[in-house]
A and B are shown apart, each in its own frame.
Chain A
Amino acid sequence: MKTLITAIATTATVLTYAAVAWAPAEDDFALAGESRVHDAAVASTSGLVFDDPGAEGELIEQYCVRCHSDRRLQGNLSLEEFDPTAPSNDPVLAEKVVVKLRAEMMPPPGARRPAGDSLTALVESLESRLDAAAAADPNPGGRTFQRLNRAEYQRSVKDLLGLEIDAGDYLPLDTKSNNFDNIADVQMVSPTLLDAYLTAAAEISRLAVGNPTATPLERQYRIPRWVSQSERVEGAPFGTRGGTSLVHTFPADGEYVFRFSFHHETTGTAVGNGRSSLATPGDPEQVEISIDGERVALLDIDRWMHVENPEGVEMRTEPIRVTAGPKRVTAAFVKRMEGPVQDLVRPHDWSLASTAIAGEYGVMQLPHMRDLVIAGPWDVTGVSDHPIRDRIFSCYPDQPEQRPDEARACAAEIIDDLGPEAFRRPLTDEDREALLGFYDMGLEEGGFEIGVRTALEAILASPNFVFRFEEAPAQIELGETYRVSDEDLASRLSYFLWGLPPDDELRSLAAEDRLSDPETLEAQVLRMLGDERSEALSTRFASQWLRLQDLEKVHPDVRFAPDYHQQLADAMLRETQLFFTHLVREDESMFELYTADYTFVNERLARHYDIPGVSGDQFRRVDYPYDYRRGILGHGSVLTLTSHAGRTSPVLRGKWIMEVVMGTPPPPPPPGVPPLEETSDEATEGRMLTTKERMEVHRANPTCNACHRFIDPLGLALDSYDMTGKWRIKENGVPLETNGELYDGTQIDGPAALQQALLDRPVLLLRAFTSNLMAYALGRRVEYYDQPVIRGIVRQAEEEDYRISSFVLGVVQSDAFQMQRAGAVSTAAANQH
């Protein structure tokens, strides 16, 4: 017989705020005597078990119910009625208990805790009972059909036609849920949305086929002011600097005008103007416009441009003849010299730190391009062939006017070619007939090409393209569970792993109903993971899970981070994406996310990270030459997106770790509290407060401390990274203090200790990862009934050394992925505490 529980008397000094936090103990009492825990009954991973059937209830009674009572309702929850021997009576509550126990956040710090492993035994017995109950009555859940969100629409169009578009030009913003943009139940429909899809279909079909009747339109490409103009931008010809480079699809052969404007000072003169210009009247700055690498215009900049001029701080080319199709257009400065530009003691990397100070005498500045506008076409002469047209016109009739039958047969061939890929299923006779009807309509309007274009417009506007319908067996009753068809499974799979419609191989396997065969399915998953299209797991899934898109919302204060600019931010994003792609492609362990002693950098990022010996724009894998930076918690992307503009934020970083890495989001802050880190900014005793001291000031407030003792130490351990992720040892001239005490008493003093503390909670990390992967894969939030599945996937992954593929396979093989329950549209509300 093992004795797992001994008595500890602790004075609970937990403090409350509102009714949401955990409670203080009003009257302390010591646990008298011992509870006995025996080997028996419930199997659990650590082998710890309770013998006495009453022991678990007693444990909860003694250590939980004093705060989580019907009366006190701390954390808005009562455990009075909770029966740990039958947790499936209230699985929602039971799963909440499991998370808090697994995180070792309950009982809260300072409160009495049972000794030894009895809490572990409790949580394991809860889990195994929940898992057993779920195995007996599995619930795969369900959702309504998904629609192509912006990213999926854009990628699907690219896949179908080879055409690059920005879906943001047409579609309203996606509603997110659980930080993912593909959660079905919030993808509501509206007239605005329908209208947007119709407009998009009209525009895209015209761009793709070309538009011989195109009228002049403008397309503006903005250049963020954070783009440094002293460096070449990606895609631009060598020997240029700044500006922009992009792929633009020209709708027809005709004349186009390229306009670009410049940033100007507050007084209205162009930045890098006469006074501060490096150029001289005899040797002006020049902008080169090139199309597919070939110069089409070279313009001298008037360095006395002013917003009050008729043309403002803007220049334009003469009309330039361009043929139809996608072309790389670059507008960039001709690079004349190497080396620093500004005449400063320490030149900045970001070349437009301010438009207010630019005009100082003696400070040299470069002109900064602000946008590029492509206007046209005028004087249209037709539509030349280009790769997108070649792809669409798999056949082309001779003299279509003379031989209408041949032309119609060709149109039918084109429809048969594009239709099934767009609809992700074979076309029906009705589809074919309707689409040929659109061909006829366009034919009448303007001939064969317009006919094909109209059919394409109908394909793109069709709900069969825009929505991912999944058919159900006939006469299905509410509550019944059914397997999704192989066809729909193919789409689920391809949008999960590739963010694209299924390819020919998937579609033909599905057509033969072979995809759902377990061996075939596994082989297909492995094929797809090895394919380069699986970058979607990185650029779509991981980017959203890790919230990388927030990077573009943070612009570190130039006074503190004068070297931060757009190219560096882009490199940071790319680093994390390449790293995750590497984990997928090489099928590394999930823990590598947090432990990798290597990363992917280019020269600029390597300089940021103090890694010597990297030159050039190319990203490559490098080992860190030091031992502090490890895994994504050392990535500039994550560290920057969790910072404020003017300082690091242990709160944001800690919150990010709790939400993203650990899957234990802290409760909301109560109203009426001041911003945490602004409680005290002032210096004391002749020096600035360190971040830790500022943290302590706010944590002296009991209301704040109730949660922030969980959040802050996690983030503080990363404070040796500044707000752009650069390593530092001092802050405001004062040595850093990054040491703190984790909520369970573990001392942590920096990134390495934090890493260890997280790895000591592998279950949390594994489940947080799996649960996010699953939500993204399913297009729905994970619910309590998914938790047993998640635990099962983690268990299986253990046998495969937690390789990424084992999680992906686990998700794909789950009932949740392959089945639907009719009427099981999610109902879970807040799941915060």
Chain B
Amino acid sequence: MRFITGKQIERRTFLKGVGATVSLPFLDAMVPAGRGSAAAMSEFDRTRFVAIELVHGCAGSNDWGASQNLWAPAEVGRNFDLSPSALSPLDPWRDYLTIVSNTDVRMAEAFEPNEIGGDHFRSSAVFLTQSHPKQTESSDVFVGTSMDQLYAQRFGQDTPIPSMQLCIENVDQSGGCAYGYSCVYTDSLSWASPTEPLPMVRDPRVAFDMLFGAGGTPEERAVRRRTSSSILDWINDDMRSLRRRLGPNDHERLDRYLDNVREIERRIQGIEAQNTSGEQRELPEAPAGVPDSFSEHMRLMFDLQALAFASDMTRVFALKTGRDASARVYPESGSDTPFHPASHHGGVEERVLDFAKINQYHVSMLPYFLEKLSEIQEGDSTMLDKSMIVFGSPMADGNLHNHRRCPLVVLGKGNGTLDGNLHVRAPDGTPMSNAMLSIMHKLGMDDMEHFGDSTGEMALTMPRTSTDAR
């Protein structure tokens, strides 16, 4: 094994093969080589969608940083130069890279005097909803349905698990969310409805068990599923009679819980159905827990996503890479400044560059994932061809807490809906939600007319001309 100086690699925590098996419904064996084109397959094989939040903006959204092209390159179109940019680790993957620059996330701004200063605690909830969160510490939270959930709700029922939410950083910091905002705004990217934040899973082991079930053998997994099914039946009956004895404060929560019971029942049935139709394939060893290092943790989460896509357990992920106010140090980035202080660079050039190092380090996590996805061959195309990865931030210049000219890139080919190798610069004042609306159209939700504060669509591919070789 090659060892990279300065990085501590724990071999064992990476997923590798062991005895357990899982069923794969769609294998390259099922589509004879050369027959299934990506477009043909996409009819029954939906785009895999991943949304990753790069928290708290980037150095390239600072005025000076933008002039140095620390994020968005100077050139639009195909011949852009990534060398000064934090995106440079993606240069080898530029055929799969669509840079969408100069969009705004104004729903993350303060609307009322009360909300000033609450950016850290509000922004993450805005990223995938492009809606303005209601300021409350109580359960009456309200923002919007997130794009990953809109997609999962429309098409996710085809897979056992409609979507999964993952995070890297611990979310239970005291004083970590404040200023009148419930912690769920700070900690949840995914919202099943404007009032239903979805918890994010940090432990790769827990995520693994959720995807593939706990238990060492197929028989053991089957016993567990049967028992769980019966328990859910019982809960369903039991809670219906209990409901009458609870007070009005409790009805809504109990009803939501009963919806969850039905959802888990559906998942179990989905897995059973897959098991009777699919082909058994060896499953890797479950990861042991949460690794110390950021890069190890990210790679494990990417392993899990690639594995989930390969086995078609789910097609939708949201991944939160940190928290705005985190003091985490990323020594591997070459900067030893804690994240949050680094983001408050005060516009000092040297310190903006320091923050850019951290941004670049975060970006440098992505090629590992792209490589994993490109290694999964299905018919003519790879999983990377079938995937769409949105990577961006609801914050722009973290130093000023502004939300104009936010970072956003889209990776993958989205089942032929994206060209890649493109930098699109939006006209000033374009909401990020315009790009997201277009993304959702490309995901097959072409009847959506608006999303968040969108004002229209945004072209994410080159205009097709007769001379266009592609």
Interface string of B223-258 (1 = CB under 8 A from A): 110011011101100110110111111101100110
Q: State whether the Cβ of B15 lies closer than 8 Å to any Cβ in chain A.
A: no
- Given A194-B264, A445-B223, A832-B180, are A462 and B235 also a contact pair (CB < 8 Å)? yes
Q: How far is the CA of A267 from the CA of B206 in the complex (A)?
A: 32
- Given A144-B139, A671-B402, are A441 and B230 also a contact pair (CB < 8 Å)? yes
Interface string of A286-321 (1 = CB under 8 A from B): 000000000000000000000110001010000000
CB contacts under 8 Å to A, within B168-220, are 170-180, 182-184, 187, 192, 196-203, 205-206, 209-210, 214-217, 220
Q: How far is the CA of A674 from the CA of B340 in the complex (A)?
A: 11
- Given A445-B223, A461-B231, A472-B245, are A185 and B139 also a contact pair (CB < 8 Å)? yes
Residue picked from B170, B175, B250, B252, most chain A C-beta under 10 Å: B250
Q: How far is the CA of A190 from the CA of B119 in the complex (A)?
A: 26
Residue picked from A437, A667, A825, A827, most chain B C-beta under 10 Å: A825
Contact of B116 with A20 in the complex, beta carbons under 8 Å:
yes
Chain B residue with Cβ nearest A826 = B138
* In the complex, number of A-B residue pairs with CB atoms less than 8 Å apart: 290
Q: How far is the CA of A550 from the CA of B113 in the complex (A)?
A: 30
Contact of B201 with A176 in the complex, beta carbons under 8 Å:
no
- Given A308-B1, A462-B238, A549-B174, are A76 and B114 also a contact pair (CB < 8 Å)? yes
Residue picked from B173, B203, B231, B341, most chain A C-beta under 10 Å: B231
- Given A215-B217, A307-B1, are A827 and B206 also a contact pair (CB < 8 Å)? no
Chain B residue with Cβ nearest A177 = B137
CB contacts under 8 Å to A, within B241-283, are 241-242, 244-250, 252-253, 256-257, 260-261, 263-264, 267
Q: State whether the Cβ of B31 lies closer than 8 Å to any Cβ in chain A.
A: no
Contact of B6 with A266 in the complex, beta carbons under 8 Å:
yes
For A827, the chain B residues whose CB sits under 8 A away are 136, 138, 140
For A830, the chain B residues whose CB sits under 8 A away are 114, 135-137, 179-180
Q: State whether the Cβ of B401 lies closer than 8 Å to any Cβ in chain A.
A: yes
Q: State whether the Cβ of B44 lies closer than 8 Å to any Cβ in chain A.
A: no
Q: State whether the Cβ of A409 lies closer than 8 Å to any Cβ in chain B.
A: no
Q: How far is the CA of A463 from the CA of B250 in the complex (A)?
A: 13
- Given A176-B183, A308-B3, A454-B227, are A189 and B256 also a contact pair (CB < 8 Å)? yes
Contact of A192 with B199 in the complex, beta carbons under 8 Å:
yes
CB distance from A678 to the nearest CB of B (A): 6
- A42-50, A80-88, A217-225, A587-595: which lies at the B interface? A217-225
Q: State whether the Cβ of B289 lies closer than 8 Å to any Cβ in chain A.
A: yes
- A32-40, A113-121, A197-205, A573-581: which lies at the B interface? A197-205
Q: State whether the Cβ of A7 lies closer than 8 Å to any Cβ in chain B.
A: no
Q: State whether the Cβ of B466 lies closer than 8 Å to any Cβ in chain A.
A: no
Contact of A674 with B346 in the complex, beta carbons under 8 Å:
yes
Q: Which residue from A186, A308, A645 sits with its C-beta under 8 Å from B338? A: A645
Q: State whether the Cβ of A264 lies closer than 8 Å to any Cβ in chain B.
A: yes
Contact of A828 with B171 in the complex, beta carbons under 8 Å:
no
Contact of B401 with A220 in the complex, beta carbons under 8 Å:
no
Q: State whether the Cβ of B470 lies closer than 8 Å to any Cβ in chain A.
A: no
Chain B residue with Cβ nearest A309 = B1
Q: Which residue from A76, A174, A644 sits with its C-beta under 8 Å from B172? A: A174
Contact of B238 with A670 in the complex, beta carbons under 8 Å:
no
Residue picked from B165, B238, B244, most chain A C-beta under 10 Å: B238
Q: State whether the Cβ of A145 lies closer than 8 Å to any Cβ in chain B.
A: yes
Q: Which residue from B139, B172, B402 sits with its C-beta under 8 Å from A825? A: B139
CB distance from B110 to the nearest CB of A (A): 9
Contact of A307 with B116 in the complex, beta carbons under 8 Å:
no
- Given A196-B206, A547-B175, A830-B137, are A177 and B182 also a contact pair (CB < 8 Å)? yes
CB distance from A549 to the nearest CB of B (A): 6
Contact of A192 with B198 in the complex, beta carbons under 8 Å:
yes
Q: State whether the Cβ of B288 lies closer than 8 Å to any Cβ in chain A.
A: yes
Q: State whether the Cβ of A824 lies closer than 8 Å to any Cβ in chain B.
A: yes
For A474, the chain B residues whose CB sits under 8 A away are 244-245
- A164-172, A498-506, A519-527, A532-540: which lies at the B interface? A164-172
Q: State whether the Cβ of A62 lies closer than 8 Å to any Cβ in chain B.
A: no
Interface of A is mostly: loop
Q: State whether the Cβ of B465 lies closer than 8 Å to any Cβ in chain A.
A: no
* A-side interface residues, number (CB < 8 Å): 112
Q: State whether the Cβ of A283 lies closer than 8 Å to any Cβ in chain B.
A: no
Contact of B220 with A268 in the complex, beta carbons under 8 Å:
no
Q: How far is the CA of A482 from the CA of B250 in the complex (A)?
A: 14
Interface string of A641-658 (1 = CB under 8 A from B): 000110000000000000
Q: State whether the Cβ of A188 lies closer than 8 Å to any Cβ in chain B.
A: yes
- Given A198-B264, A222-B289, A671-B401, are A820 and B247 also a contact pair (CB < 8 Å)? yes
Q: State whether the Cβ of A173 lies closer than 8 Å to any Cβ in chain B.
A: yes
Q: State whether the Cβ of B39 lies closer than 8 Å to any Cβ in chain A.
A: no
For B260, the chain A residues whose CB sits under 8 A away are 189-191, 193-194
Contact of B196 with A188 in the complex, beta carbons under 8 Å:
yes
CB distance from B330 to the nearest CB of A (A): 14
Interface string of B295-329 (1 = CB under 8 A from A): 00000000000000000000000000000000101
- Given A19-B116, A434-B238, A469-B246, are A202 and B201 also a contact pair (CB < 8 Å)? no
Contact of B214 with A203 in the complex, beta carbons under 8 Å:
yes
Q: State whether the Cβ of A672 lies closer than 8 Å to any Cβ in chain B.
A: yes
Q: State whether the Cβ of A811 lies closer than 8 Å to any Cβ in chain B.
A: no
CB distance from B405 to the nearest CB of A (A): 15
Q: How far is the CA of A374 from the CA of B3 in the complex (A)?
A: 26
For A143, the chain B residues whose CB sits under 8 A away are 249
CB contacts under 8 Å to B, within A453-484, are 454, 457-458, 461-464, 469-472, 474, 476, 478, 482
Q: State whether the Cβ of A142 lies closer than 8 Å to any Cβ in chain B.
A: yes
Q: Which residue from A177, A194, A668 sits with its C-beta under 8 Å from B261? A: A194
For A673, the chain B residues whose CB sits under 8 A away are 344
Contact of A441 with B227 in the complex, beta carbons under 8 Å:
yes
Contact of B248 with A202 in the complex, beta carbons under 8 Å:
no
CB contacts under 8 Å to A, within B115-156, are 116-119, 135-140
For B234, the chain A residues whose CB sits under 8 A away are 434, 437-438, 458, 462
Q: Which residue from A194, A267, A644, A668 sits with its C-beta under 8 Å from B178? A: A668
Q: Which residue from A145, A168, A781 sits with its C-beta under 8 Å from B137? A: A781
Interface string of A764-788 (1 = CB under 8 A from B): 0000000000000000010000000
Q: State whether the Cβ of B9 lies closer than 8 Å to any Cβ in chain A.
A: yes
For A373, the chain B residues whose CB sits under 8 A away are 12, 288
Contact of B210 with A195 in the complex, beta carbons under 8 Å:
yes
- Given A458-B234, A463-B235, A822-B249, are A189 and B257 also a contact pair (CB < 8 Å)? yes
Contact of A220 with B288 in the complex, beta carbons under 8 Å:
yes
Q: State whether the Cβ of A659 lies closer than 8 Å to any Cβ in chain B.
A: yes
CB contacts under 8 Å to B, within A812-829, are 820, 822-829
What are 6 A-B pairs at a CB distance below 8 A?
A169-B289, A172-B200, A188-B196, A220-B289, A469-B246, A831-B137
The 8 closest A-B CB pairs, nearest first, are: A830-B180, A215-B216, A668-B117, A472-B247, A671-B401, A220-B288, A185-B139, A674-B346
Known: A18-B116, A173-B170, A222-B292. 15 other contacts (CB 8 A): A73-B113, A169-B205, A175-B187, A189-B256, A192-B210, A195-B267, A220-B289, A314-B12, A462-B231, A478-B248, A644-B327, A669-B117, A671-B117, A829-B180, A830-B135
